[in-house]
Amino acid sequence: MEILGVGIQLLAMFTSFGLLIGILFGFFGMGGSFLVTPALLVMGYKPNVAVASGLAFVFGTSVIATLKHRDLGQVDYKLGVLMIAGTTGGIEVGKIGLEYLQHIGLAGTVVSIAYIGLLGAIGAFVTYTALKDGGGGISHDVEEGDEGADDIPPIAQKIQSYNIPPMISVRGGFTVSLWMVLAVAFATGLLSGFLGVGGGFIRMPALFYLVGVPVPVAVGTDLFEIVFSGGIGSFLYAQSGAVDLSIVVPLLAGSALGARIGAGATNLVDEDDIKVYFGVMLLLGAIAVAVREAGSYLGIEVFDLVSLAIIVGAALLVSAAVVVSSVRELRASSSSPEPSTAD
Amino acid sequence: MVSTILQLGLDSLSGNALAVAIIGLVLVEAIVLYFGYGLLESALGKRVIDFLRGI
């Protein structure tokens, strides 16, 4: 059976995968595209189709997320517009680089290796901080209203100390050089265009660690910016017909539902309890791409299947952890006695 | 993708027009899903929560 020329099994698979990613996105405030593009590569899609469809999915997901966060008032529009300008240039350069690598037949390998390094490094950092102090690193809860409560990281203090005019004021009560903001934006845009990711899991930490933007504002501004970077990136690829709607449409249908479940879970579960799973998931993503590349290098086809199983398994593991923890908290809250008001 | 584009009637488009049509479709889908699931949540959300609580 087919819908719009696409097999029902394929649609169901992408919708289910989107649901898993949506739960992660709603809970952690990150796009999850770092799972989509490797999965598509493992499934045998061409690198430009995998990257383009990943970007289009990120665009749709970020629209939904921005709609959900629009009333929180945690978006620095001036910073967002500057980030858009820098990111646009980065995406264009990243796209040119990817097309060149594809032309010389190295795109799949280079994109995969870049993924391994990036996912591995961020995964190791998140896992390390989570294990080190039981919840260090970055909190993505934007609803607590603790804007300004975070200490400015040392690197951000250093970057803020560079007085290269023009200086701009940023929500959070500090100024930073325009050129520093543009440099961070360009670098994340480069990765976005090259790897087919929205850049949320790179840019949001970059805004916090490098620019010193308070976490809630970093999340809100990042979401606002992803709408444009994802839209521009997917538009550029769509011009050559690389966006595969049979991938994007069901993924988005699943992720929109998953994002609501994940967002609801943030009110129930302490994110610190889950953070270590998230770091492990990123590490598993890096391992999955490494396994696929090893299989390709050694000519062992079954490695592709193993790689896909690791990616889906990682998303399933963390999504299930979020849902199970939420249900457990719900049941605990309904079975616990009502607090006394007598005193 | 070719079959999907044919089914959606986008096969006559190319370049910028194709890109606008594709991105527009994704945007419309995102907005419809946002409000659609929102209505679903307001209609069924409490029942689902009660079910999960075991009430």
Whether A66 and chain B come into contact, CB under 8 Å, resolves to: no
Q: Collapsing DSSP states into helix, strand and coil, what is residue A272?
A: helix
ipTM attached to this prediction: 0.85
Question: What is the pLDDT averaged over residues A63-75?
Answer: 70
User: Looking at the complex, does the CB of residue B12 fall below 8 Å from at least one CB of chain A?
Assistant: no
Mean pLDDT of B23-28: 92
CA distance A243 to chain B (A): 8
Q: pLDDT at position B20, please?
A: 92
**Separation between Cα atoms, residue A287 and residue A116, nearest integer Å:** 7
| Contact status, residue A195 vs residue A235, Cβ threshold 8 Å | no
Q: Omega of the bond prior to A166 within 30 degrees of 0, cis?
A: yes
pLDDT of residue A88: 81
What pLDDT band is residue A149 in, cutting at 50, 70 and 90?
Answer: very low
Question: pLDDT band for position A34 (50/70/90)?
Answer: low
Cα torsion A215, A216, A220, A221: sign: negative
Question: Does residue A102 or residue A334 have the better pLDDT?
Answer: A102
Q: Chains A and B: how many Cβ contacts under 8 Å? A: 96
* Rounded distance between C-alpha atoms, residue A192 and residue A200, angstroms: 9
Based on the number of CB atoms within 10 Å of its own CB, is A19 exposed (0-12), middle (13-18) or buried (19 or more)?
buried
Query: What is the tens place of the pLDDT at every residue in A195-245?
Result: 766 566 677 777 777 777 776 677 777 878 878 877 888 898 888 888 888
Best B34, B40, B48 member to test A by mutation, with max A CBs in 10 Å, is B34
The better pLDDT of the pair A5, B50 is held by B50
- Nearest partner of A54 among A200, A239, A198, judged by Cα: A198
Q: Which residues of A touch B33 (CB under 8 A)?
A: 64, 252-253, 256-257
Interface test with A, best of B2, B8, B13, B33 (most A CBs within 10 A): B33
What pLDDT band is residue B33 in, cutting at 50, 70 and 90?
A: very high
Instruction: Enter the tokens of residue A211.
Output: 């620019």
Q: Is the CB of B48 inside 8 Å of chain A's CB atoms? A: no
Using the Cβ of B5 and the Cβ atoms of chain A, whether some distance falls under 8 Å is answered with yes
Task: Give buried/exposed letters for A34-73 (b at 16+ CB in 10 A, else e).
Answer: bbbbbbbbbeebebbbbbbbbbbbbbbbbbbbbbbbeebe
Residue A313: predicted pLDDT: 84
Please give the share of chain A, as a percent, with pLDDT higher than 70: 78
Q: Return the minimum-mean-pLDDT range out of A25-29, A159-163, A266-270, A336-340.
A: A336-340
- Put simply, whether B26 touches A (Cβ < 8 Å) is yes
CA distance A342 to A79: 50
Provide the pLDDT for residue B30.
92
Residues 6+ apart with CB under 8 A from A339: none
Higher-confidence residue of A252 and A138: namely: A252
Residue carrying the six token digits 């770091």 = A279
More confident of the two residues A32 and A22? A22
Does A309 lie at the interface with B, CB-CB under 8 angstroms? no
Give the DSSP H/E element, type plus range, for residue A220.
Answer: helix A215-238
pTM over cut 0.80 = no
State chain B's maximal CA–CA distance in angstroms: 55
Q: Is the pLDDT of residue B27 over 90?
A: yes
